[in-house]
Structure 1
Amino acid sequence: MFNGIAMAFMAIFISGILGTTVMTGFSHIVELLTDHKFNEAHLLNEFINRSKKTTSKIGKNHYLGWFLHFMIGVCMAVFLYCYYFYMADNVLIWTGVFLGFILGIIGVTGWSIMISAHSNPPDIKWKLFFVQLIFAHMIFGVTITWVLAKFAFNLYV
């Protein structure tokens, strides 16, 4: 019993880390191709750095933005695992694309709230960021779905 639970937790954690890594890689490639800021962890650090609540200055690669980004990814992996475990009849890659799209909309909403609540948000092309963010989350959803299917549910997709 414990072994199955431990494997599920490990699959969720690894899927969240891997999904976030692949998603961030996609965002970084789009950033390089377009010369616009799209790296989520860097933007989180810029939000923190520009905050009135902090007096310390942090760089774009500070661990805090990366930690927050990856922990949000793991939390989203928990959501996908719960969906597949409790509600879905099958674990399909296309479901990962769709759920990634939904998570992208949630991500756009979260970033929009941060932008509107922040006194000095980063000055980037937010509409372009949001479009690539939705595609990045679709890749994220596929990655997590594949890892969960293989390692949490022992399926071949």
Structure 2
Amino acid sequence: MEVLKIFFSGILGTFMMTVFSHILELLTGSKFNEAHLLNGLLDRSKFSNSNIQKNNFLGWIFHFTIGICMAAMLYFYYMYISNYISLWLGIVLGFVLGIIGIAGWLIMKNCHSKPPEINWYSFFVQLVVAHVVFGVVVTWVFIRFIFKN
């Protein structure tokens, strides 16, 4: 049953993070949609011979799968390492996940022959904040449904 709660927290956290990125994208005109950018990397990849559009399901599946994996990492942290869970800790861990996310994006960008042409600095700043949103949402789900006292 806890596996379903972890799955749900990852989906909800990723969804709320994506909503944040969409709102910021609309307000600034910058490209912040992680799934669309993942599709841009897949489309231009030497491993892909198909034309992948920006809203292809592959980017969305990849994005939400990573979110579920990150939620599982938070669950294992709270369950086996920390004796403490709070929304404040969710903020801190979301920040850490944002730094890990930047590292992942840098690896993908630097290993790619034609990465999407965006303002990467702005993308990385919003990515950290989006992961803070993710960390808070996932932690809230855990507090509410898994680690309730």
TM over 0.5: yes
Unaligned runs of 5+ in 2: none
The one-letter amino acid paired with 1:55 is: N
* Aligned partner (choices 17, 26, 39) of residue 45 of structure 1: 39
Identify which of 109, 134, 146 aligns with 2:128. Answer: 134
Deviations 1:60-89 (A, max 9, x none): 111100000000000000000001101112
Of the candidates 57, 62, 77, which is equivalent to residue 68 of structure 1? 62
Matches of 1:90 and 1:55, distance apart in 2: 48
Percent identity over the alignment?
56
Partner of 1:91: 85
Ranges in structure 1 where 5+ consecutive residues have no aligned partner: 1-5
2:95 to 85, 95, 101: 101
Q: CA deviation at 1:154?
A: 2.2
Secondary structure of 2:49's partner?
coil
- TM-score (norm: length of structure 2): 0.98
> Of residues 145, 149, 154 in structure 1, which corresponds to 2:139?
145
Q: Counterpart amino acid of 1:25?
A: V
**C-alpha distance in structure 1 between counterparts of 2:48 and 2:100, whole Å:** 27
Q: Once the two structures are superposed, what CA deviation does each residue of 1:89-109 show, in whole Å capped at 9, x if it has no partner?
A: 221000000000000000000
Equivalent-residue separation in structure 2 for 1:78 and 1:55 (angstroms): 33
CA-to-aligned-CA distance 1:106-148 (integer Å, 9 cap, x gap): 0000000111000000000000000000000000000000001
Verify: 1:121 aligned to 2:121, yes or no: no
**Distance of 2:47 and 2:10 partners within structure 1:** 30
User: What pairs with 1:24-43 in structure 2 (closer than 5 Å)?
Assistant: 24-43=18-37
Take 1:143 and 1:53, find their aligned partners in 2: how far apart are those partners?
34
SS at match of 2:47: coil
Q: Distance in 1 between matches of 2:77 and 2:48?
A: 37
Structure-2 residue corresponding to 1:111: 105
Aligned residues: 149
Give the number of the structure whose alpha-carbon radius of gyration is greater.
Answer: 1
In structure 2, C-alpha distance between the alignment counterparts of 1:154 and 1:14, rounded to whole Å = 16
TM (normalized to structure 1)?
0.93
